[in-house]
Amino acid sequence: MTNVRNAPGTQPLTPGKAGIGVTQRQDAWWASWLGTAGGLGLLGLYAFFSAEMGLGKWGPYLSPFYSPECLQLHFLAKYHLPIAVIPLASIIAFRGTCYYYRKAYYRAFFADPAGCAVGEARNEYAGETKWPWLVQNFHRYFMYLATLCLIVLWWDTLCAFFPGLQGHPEYGKFNFGLGSIVMLLDVVLLTGYTLGCHSLRHLIGGKNDCMSCAPSRYAGWKSATKFNEKHMQWAWASLFFVCFTDLYIRLGGLGIVQLESWTKWVMK
């Protein structure tokens, strides 16, 4: 919780009536706002750049933006759609309706509000009852889609270590390189973010009024709660690393990254 300090001898302002950006806070509240806006903006622009550029595969490594590989079908090229449009849409749907990300981008891009006890543009709150904010109510269903995508990403990671699973014996029976480690770290962070999802936590134990009557659900709820307590950290780490994974594979495909030559170990 933010520790808000008002100027000496003043009364707290009502943010909705104070005007956008008006505040009596004396701390650097804008630093968090600026960092969030910059981070989401840069990573979001990179994701769209990646979707348009192609080149999402390098040897046994497949970018998370281009997974699953079966999406690289002719109809996408026929209608001039980037190959990564479907994975990117699922990412936007899940993260765009995430409870943490709502707070982050409402503040960062709409200054609604820009921070605790900081004035905002509107005086009324209508909730998420109008278009396009109605879409936020579908977060649980986007969570189901994200879970399916996560399973596919685990399969891609397994295939990075064992290329023969996808019919690529030319890369060896077992492949251990920096690329496979990067993909593994990426999917672990994405799993931690998904397991901390508020909707998943509610789905496991939210409707259960008697926890002692359902010990297995209670155990699952406690586990989800552990991840949920650090949901913001999981959100940022996984968002950054999914972009980094794509960048590493992209640079490798372009021949810019040469780290594999001294980190790679292959069993033929």
Backbone angles phi, psi at 6, to 5 degrees: -85, 160
pLDDT band at 79 (very low <50, low <70, confident <90, very high): low
pTM (two decimals): 0.83
Q: What is the pLDDT of residue 186?
A: 96
pLDDT band at 5 (very low <50, low <70, confident <90, very high): low
pLDDT in tens, 179-223: 999 999 999 999 999 999 999 888 888 777 777 788 888 888 889
pLDDT band at 263 (very low <50, low <70, confident <90, very high): low
Q: What is the pLDDT of residue 35?
A: 92
Q: What is the pLDDT of residue 213?
A: 80
Q: What is the pLDDT of residue 9?
A: 47
pLDDT in tens, 160-176: 998 888 776 666 678 88
How many other C-beta atoms are found inside a 10 Å radius of the C-beta of residue 220?
A: 17
Q: What is the pLDDT of residue 262?
A: 47
pLDDT band at 98 (very low <50, low <70, confident <90, very high): very high
**H/E element holding 175?**
strand 174-176
Is-cis flag, bond preceding 215, omega within 30?
A: no
What tokens were used for 175? 């492949």
Residue 120 has pLDDT above 80, yes or no: no
Residue 28 or residue 99, greater confidence: 99
- Mean pLDDT confidence for 23-35: 83
Which residues partner with 175 through β-bridges?
A: 266
What tokens were used for 86? 């479907």
